[in-house]
Amino acid sequence: MGRMVISSNTPDLREMVRVFARIGFLSFGGPAGQIALMHRELVEERQWLDEEQYLHALNFCHLLPGPEAQQLATWIGWKLHGVRGGLAAGLLFVVPGAFIILALSALYAVAADLDWFAALFLGIKAAVLAIVVQALLRIAGRALNTNFKRGLAVSAFLALFAFNAPFPLVVLGAGAIGMMVAALRPHWLGSGPINPAFEV
């Protein structure tokens, strides 16, 4: 992938490290919540990337094996400040959460049999589920902006959950359909000419 044109709001390395440390400590809810939090912090509030750049990067990371949210954070750090930025963003995305999980695990080992502790974790489960649903709705609302995209998303969901189709097959099938539609009916995808700000 070629270098992406970054917003004029590009931060210095210290500011980027501070923001990714904040994301690392606040990114509850798994990949969906983490991706939505990064979108809010980096696109909506600070405008370090624009909407199209963020979604292009997210789509690319979904095609790679491994955790897409961490890959997205590392990629954004690299785009903002090269190798140092990528290492800082990737590590700060993981390390704070690892310490929090370690602390919660130790607490669980000590207090798992206490009624108040079980009730606490039930409340946390409900809150995390709400975070994930809200994050999915936010990202879907931006990415699924045509009827064709919404129909393709519903079809992929049915293939995965109703027919138990293999995930790689669904992704490759959706990609192939997207390529054909882009060639024949690009307006179905809401597409115009390829944005030169994001070159592959």
Question: Residue 29's pLDDT band (boundaries 50, 70, 90)?
Answer: low
Specify whether 2 is located in the same domain as 49: yes
Specify whether 104 is located in the same domain as 18: yes
Specify whether 107 is located in the same domain as 54: yes
Higher model confidence: residue 165 or residue 143? 165
Structure tokens, 43: 């696109």
Distances (CA, A) of 151 to 137, 174, 175, 178: 16, 11, 14, 12
Specify whether 99 is located in the same domain as 161: no
The confidence score (pLDDT) of residue 144 equals 84
The confidence score (pLDDT) of residue 191 equals 62
Q: Nearest to residue 51, comparing CAs of 195, 166, 170?
A: 195
Does the residue 137 lie in any domain?
A: no
Domain edge (last residue) among 66, 86, 119: 119
Give me the domain span that covers residue 1.
1-119
Q: Nearest to residue 169, comparing CAs of 161, 159, 178?
A: 159
Does the residue 138 lie in any domain?
A: no
Total tally of structural domains belonging to the chain: 2
Most confident of 13-17, 22-26, 40-44, 52-56: 13-17
Residue 86 has pLDDT above 60, yes or no: yes
Entry pTM: 0.69
The confidence score (pLDDT) of residue 7 equals 52
The confidence score (pLDDT) of residue 34 equals 85
Does the residue 43 lie in any domain?
A: yes
Specify whether 90 is located in the same domain as 183: no
Dihedral (Cα; 8, 72, 53, 62), 10-degree rounding: 180
